[in-house]
Structure 1
Amino acid sequence: MCAMARPRKPLLSTDRIVETARALVDAEGLAAVSTRRLAAELGVSGPSLYNHFRTKDEILEAVADSVSAQVDLSMFEDGREWRTALHDWAVSYRTALRDHPNIVPVLAHGPGRRPAALHLADAVYGAMVRAGWPAAQATSIGALMRYFVMGSALGSFAGVVHDAAG
């Protein structure tokens, strides 16, 4: 019996799983994502995914975080006045949500422990504190803006919310 050699480059990576899952969510919605379907898209067996993620929900959280990572934060570092920076950030955030509307219901649950989402919140908070806002108000401003942008996206993509709810 001949043993198959292990490939030099792994067939799976966390990034590859997330990219494939994001493409599937973008094309067909949240309901289309299952570990079985994702494994088939990746050309691997289902249990292979569990070396990278424990559950389908973890995969969807990683997809949501990858969308948060697309939000431009440079406006908080290039010297723009805080009002302009906050506006430009909101536009970038809304653009990321528009480009990936099917993941909006997952993102709407809040940043949780998603690294990119937490980095995004920290960038807004830091910019507000640097602009002279007290810490508590900086937190409120960041949350308010996030709710405003997310609510706008949820309102714009009402069919997505309906589809996700079942």
Structure 2
Amino acid sequence: MGRPPRPLLSRDRIVSSALALVDSEGLEALSTRRLAAELGVAGPSLYNHVGTKEELLDDIVDSVLAEVDTAMFAKLSTTNPAWRAALEKWARTYRQVVAAHPNIVPVLAAGLGRRPNALRIADDVFGGLVAAGWSRREAISVGAVVRYFVLGSALGSFASAFPADAAVYSAKYPHLDGAHTLAARQQRVDQRAFDTGLQAVLDGLELRYETLSSD
């Protein structure tokens, strides 16, 4: 038999298939054996393209982070200090990306690592904030605050909602008498909570920016 017209495997194909598996079945479903079966190849073939499972997880997460928009930070300067709008757009696109792939949140929460897109995002945000007038020390904190908020909201949003059984709350939790209705409205509740929290974070940062600027 002649060689196939293109290689059966490539790193991009492996990462794409691994992400699809994690999206559909969760992180616990990802293994070399399972991924090889999904790709229709022998397990050892994967090791020509991917080293460890941890490296593969990094590649999966980084492929998702490639979708996060940070282009607006390059436009910031002391004459265009629109850092609040840039942070808001970043936070919303970040959440949209995470919402499309909620099963990777635990890996995202572990930190930036050496993932190229994670470092690209951090560099863009930090550089834009400094250009807009934040000190380097403050810019580090501001970027971290927004990232923590997005990931924290993701951990809550994509977890299970309150139980839909009214009897759970009636005896011991009188203030949660309507909590059993939230499961059916979880997406709207989560979005409203995210919007409220993001505006509160941005309001606080704006007050801090004005205070520091007047010192």
Common topology (TM > 0.5)? yes
Return the alpha-carbon distance in structure 2 between the equivalents of residues 142 and 11 of structure 1.
41
Q: Which has the higher contact order (CA 8 A, sep 6+)?
A: 1
Check the 8 A contact 2:70/2:90 in 1, yes or no. yes
Measured after TM superposition, the shift of residue 27 of structure 1 is 0.7
CA deviations over 1:44-81 (Å, ceiling 9, x no partner) = 11011111111112111111111111101222235571
Q: State the secondary structure of the residue aligned to 1:158.
A: coil
Find the counterpart in structure 2 of residue 25 from structure 1: 22
* 1:56 is the counterpart of 2:62: no
Return the alpha-carbon distance in structure 2 between the equivalents of residues 104 and 38 of structure 1.
20
Return the alpha-carbon distance in structure 2 between the equivalents of residues 143 and 52 of structure 1.
33
Measured after TM superposition, the shift of residue 82 of structure 1 is 0.9
Find the counterpart in structure 1 of residue 98 from structure 2: 97
Return the alpha-carbon distance in structure 2 between the equivalents of residues 140 and 155 of structure 1.
22
TM-score by length of 2: 0.69
Q: CA RMSD in A?
A: 1.4
Find the counterpart in structure 2 of residue 111 from structure 1: 112
After TM superposition, list the pairs within 5 Å mapping 1:28-43 onto structure 2: 28-43=25-40
CA deviations over 1:70-113 (Å, ceiling 9, x no partner) = 10122223557110010000000011000000011011101111
Which of 41, 62, 65 is matched with 1:65 structurally? 62
- The one-letter code sitting in structure 1 at the alignment partner of 2:124 is A
CA deviations over 1:96-150 (Å, ceiling 9, x no partner) = 0000000110111011110001101111101101101111111111111111111
Find the counterpart in structure 1 of residue 175 from structure 2: none
Q: State the secondary structure of the residue aligned to 2:63.
A: helix
* 1:133 is the counterpart of 2:153: no
User: How many matched pairs?
Assistant: 156
Return the alpha-carbon distance in structure 2 between the equivalents of residues 58 and 158 of structure 1.
26
After TM superposition, what 4+ stretches of structure 1 lie above 6 angstroms from structure 2?
A: none
Q: State, as a whole percentage, how many aligned pairs show the same letter.
A: 63
* 1:84 is the counterpart of 2:81: no
Measured after TM superposition, the shift of residue 158 of structure 1 is 2.5
TM-score by length of 1: 0.89
Return the alpha-carbon distance in structure 1 between the equivalents of residues 2 and 145 of structure 2.
54
Return the alpha-carbon distance in structure 2 between the equivalents of residues 58 and 82 of structure 1.
34
Q: State the secondary structure of the residue aligned to 2:113.
A: coil
Q: Which runs of 5+ in 2 are unaligned?
A: 161-215
* 1:16 is the counterpart of 2:13: yes
- Higher Cα radius of gyration: 2
Return the alpha-carbon distance in structure 2 between the equivalents of residues 28 and 16 of structure 1.
18
